[in-house]
């Protein structure tokens, strides 16, 4: 289960109270692209020693940068102005909280891949696990995706 | 001869102290030893630095490293204090405060910059940040814009600008916080970075600020 922070609790409460349904574009990007890049990272890192070696971390940085681009596209899909699902209005506080929570995990993962360190493998896997757990809970809190 | 041995032993012992971190020595060596014929020696020294970090270095190797370091930095006649001051001045005098409500981000940044020889402090909210700013007196404060407990990073930035403008500030935020970003621009932090940030980008900003502090 993802770590609990004030930001995520605010996000879950906001989603529950407003009974929000996230747009199809969002889930499509998540399922087809974002999660597969995340799985690639997990598989790559799982076979590494405690300190991820430099050539591997270089490849992981490229993967993380792909996730950052996808994450920005997912955020855009939550913005009615940039979404094809223009009838779904996601409040800015929800978008901001989501960005804050996931952005921190992406930031930590990117930093550790850049800098290495004796426990880089464990930290990257922890961040990847946190991100996956976040989306599992997001699906549970928002119900079925809009069609 | 005995005195010289003692002298280098003292230097070697000091390598284990918090002032002489292996990261600090390594950074200093990389900037100082640049001739091609010095490469083998540099590699040997860096391996020794790793041994310092792992607490594996025996007395003989400490003495040998101390000799090499002293010679490389300041020549054969240098004293322990000169060597000490030289490395500290180059690498460890800069005090860095990291303000982020996510403890894991604070820890990752802190361990990375400690390895690079900075003196570190962390804060996770507005009150703790103000306490650290006043007690620790950082040279540079890295401030996340979004903090828990109501008060935002912008309030910390405002405090620094009003009361301690000598402290250099780097504000980090996500692009979503457009309204807050407008206020940040008005307060003119020394640097502004949009997260996620590559470590090289933050290093470059910090190095730029260090240059301006030392000038």
Summarised one tens digit per residue, pLDDT across range A58-72 is 999 999 999 999 998
In-domain check, residue A18: no
Which domain, by its residues, includes A82?
6-11+23-142
Q: Is residue A16 part of a domain?
A: no
CATH number at residue A64: 1.20.120
Q: CATH number of B94-214: 3.40.50.2300, 3.10.20.90, 3.40.190.80, 3.40.50.620?
A: 3.40.50.2300
Condensed to tens digits (0 to 9), the pLDDT of residues B37-93 reads 455 555 666 666 666 555 555 555 656 666 666 666 666 566 555 655 555 454 446
Q: Is A6 an 8 Å CB contact of chain B?
A: yes
Instruction: Give the chain A residue whose CA is nearest to the CA of B147.
Output: A7
- Contacts of the segment A94-100: beta carbons below 8 A, 24+ positions apart: A94/A11, A94/A14, A94/A15, A94/A18, A94/A20, A95/B176, A96/B174, A96/B176, A96/B177, A97/A7, A97/A8, A97/A10, A97/A11, A97/A14, A98/A11, A99/A75, A99/B174, A99/B176, A100/A7, A100/B146, A100/B174, A100/B176
Asked whether residue A66 is assigned to any structural domain, the reply reads yes
Stretch among A35-44, A78-87, B182-191 having the lowest mean pLDDT: A78-87
Q: How many domains does chain A divide into?
A: 1
Mutate: best of A66, A105, A107, partner B, most B CBs <10 A: A107
Q: Does B111 touch chain A (CB under 8 A)?
A: yes
Note whether B5 contacts A: Cβ–Cβ < 8 A: no
ipTM confidence score: 0.81
- The answer to whether residue A133 is domain-embedded is yes
Q: Do A99 and B198 touch (CB under 8 A)?
A: no
Q: Give start-end residues of each CATH 3.40.50.2300 domain in chain B.
A: 94-214
Determine the distance from the C-alpha atom of residue B166 to the mean position of all C-alpha atoms in its chain, rounded to a whole number: 18
Cα B145 to chain centroid, rounded: 22
Is A79 in CB contact (< 8 Å) with chain B?
A: no
**Least Cα separation, residue A114 to chain B (angstroms):** 6
Please give the share of chain A, as a percent, with pLDDT higher than 70.
Answer: 84
């Amino acid at each position: 289960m993802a770590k609990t922070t004030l930001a995520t609790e605010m996000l879950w409460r906001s989603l529950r109270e407003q009974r929000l349904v996230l747009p199809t574009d969002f889930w499509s990007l998540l399922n087809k692209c974002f999660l597969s890049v995340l799985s690639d990272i997990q598989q790559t890192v799982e076979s590494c020693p405690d300190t991820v070696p430099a050539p591997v971390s270089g490849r992981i940085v490229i993967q993380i940068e792909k996730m950052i681009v996808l994450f920005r596209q997912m955020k855009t899909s939550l913005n009615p102005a940039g979404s094809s699902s223009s009838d779904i209005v996601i409040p800015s506080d929800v978008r901001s909280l989501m960005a804050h929570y996931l952005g921190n995990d992406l930031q930590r993962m990117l930093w550790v891949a850049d800098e290495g360190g004796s426990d880089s493998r464990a930290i990257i896997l922890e961040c990847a696990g946190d991100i996956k757990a976040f989306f599992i809970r997001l699906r549970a809190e928002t119900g079925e995706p809009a069609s | 001869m005995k005195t010289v041995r003692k002298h280098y032993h003292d230097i070697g012992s000091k390598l284990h102290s918090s002032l002489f971190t292996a990261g600090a020595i390594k950074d200093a060596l990389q900037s100082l030893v640049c001739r091609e014929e010095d490469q083998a020696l540099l590699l040997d020294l860096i391996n020794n630095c790793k041994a310092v970090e792992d607490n594996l270095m025996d007395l003989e190797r400490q003495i040998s490293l101390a000799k090499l370091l002293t010679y490389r930095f300041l020549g054969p006649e240098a004293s322990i204090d000169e060597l000490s001051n030289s490395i500290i001045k180059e690498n460890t005098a800069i005090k860095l405060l990291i303000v982020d409500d996510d403890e894991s981000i604070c820890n990752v940044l802190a361990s990375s910059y400690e390895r690079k020889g900075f003196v570190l402090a962390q804060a996770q909210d507005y009150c703790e940040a103000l306490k650290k700013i006043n007690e620790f007196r950082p040279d540079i404060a890295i401030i996340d814009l979004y903090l828990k407990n109501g008060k935002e990073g912008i309030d910390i930035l405002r405090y620094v600008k009003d009361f301690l403008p000598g402290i250099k500030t780097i504000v980090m935020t996500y692009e979503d916080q457009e309204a807050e970003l407008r206020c940040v621009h008005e307060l003119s932090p020394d640097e502004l970075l949009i997260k996620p940030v590559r470590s090289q980008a933050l290093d470059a900003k910090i190095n730029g600020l260090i240059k301006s502090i030392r000038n």
